[in-house]
Amino acid sequence: MTNIKIEDVKFPYAPFDLLEHSILIGNRGSVAHGTYIPNTDPNSIDDIDLMNVVIPPRKYYLGLSNWEMCEGIDDPWDVVAYEFKKFMGLLVKQNPNVLMLLWLDAEDYYLMRPAGDALVAARELFSSREVAKTFIGYAQGQLQRMTHVAGRGYLGAKRKKLVEKYGYDVKNAGHLIRLLHMGIEFLDTGLLNVKRTWDRQLLIDIKTGKYSLVEVNEMAADGFDKLRILEKHSSLPKKLDLKLIDKLCIDILDATLNDSF
């Protein structure tokens, strides 16, 4: 997947040039995790997911105009773009999906302007034990969706067939176990390993139906237990330093809007 070029990406609509004002663009989802299954595979239910961080034109900070985000799905692309302060707020909330953008492998970034580089360089400012609660919360969401698939009309035909075949949503199951493993590693080592290594094949096997629902539930129970223990004993700070984060936010915006980067 590293041969994708930014000019190939189908970006969603914004009332300004989205690419021109992006400071950071990178992979998210299965491509970033190294678990992407190409659409030539009959079991593939993966999109190519990207995330943008955007600093819009000055008028969106100094005037009445407002813009926070946009998202577009245009096969095979699923692109979400966040305004910088919106993105920073999600980082402060320890949103796992947003935190991951700061911890990608180098080849998983498509664009990194100086402001984006400064943000990635400061990524440890957004590490705290509070991630235990957010990773647990997001994993519980996947656990719930894994078996409660009735009425989820957005599921594609191929994914519905997989649910019928295996009796649960194997894609949610893969997300569940991945989130638990990443959260455990983050709390234990202080590193958010987005690209999966030791569990890569396990995650692919889960999302292709090679594990039973009972086995997935057993793995999940063990992961939740380990996360709750690490929440108390991790060497990460208990809370984020909001003063330092606020300064970072101001510095990046001031430098970008005044073209001093």
Give 109's strand partners.
Answer: 26
The chain-wide mean pLDDT, for the chain, equals 93
pLDDT band at 3 (very low <50, low <70, confident <90, very high): low
Decide if 149 contacts 233 (C-beta within 8 A). Answer: no
Q: Which tens digits make up the pLDDT trace of 55-97? A: 999 999 999 999 999 999 988 899 999 999 999 999 999 999 9
pLDDT band at 1 (very low <50, low <70, confident <90, very high): very low
Q: State the pLDDT at residue 5.
A: 80
First-residue to last-residue Cα distance in the chain: 31
Q: Which tens digits make up the pLDDT trace of 233-242? A: 999 999 999 9
pLDDT band at 6 (very low <50, low <70, confident <90, very high): confident
Residue 104 identity (one-letter amino acid): L
What is the SS3 assignment for 12-23?
Answer: CCCCCCCCCCEE
Q: Which tens digits make up the pLDDT trace of 89-142? A: 999 999 999 999 999 999 999 999 999 999 999 999 999 999 999 999 999 999
Higher pLDDT, 113 or 148: 113
Give 48's strand partners.
Answer: 77
**In this structure, what token pair is assigned to residue 187?**
């709390």
Decide if 116 contacts 19 (C-beta within 8 A). Answer: no
Query: According to CATH, what is the number of the domain 6-126+241-257?
Result: 3.30.460
Full-model pTM: 0.94
CB count in 10 Å sphere of residue 190: 13
φ, ψ at 18 (rounded to 5°):
-65, -45
Pairing relation of β-strands 48-54 and 77-83? Answer: parallel
Q: Provide the residue ranges of all domains of the chain, joining segments of one domain with +.
A: 6-126+241-257, 131-233
Q: Which tens digits make up the pLDDT trace of 239-260? A: 999 999 999 999 999 999 998 7
Q: Which tens digits make up the pLDDT trace of 165-215? A: 999 999 999 999 999 999 999 999 999 999 999 999 999 999 999 999 999
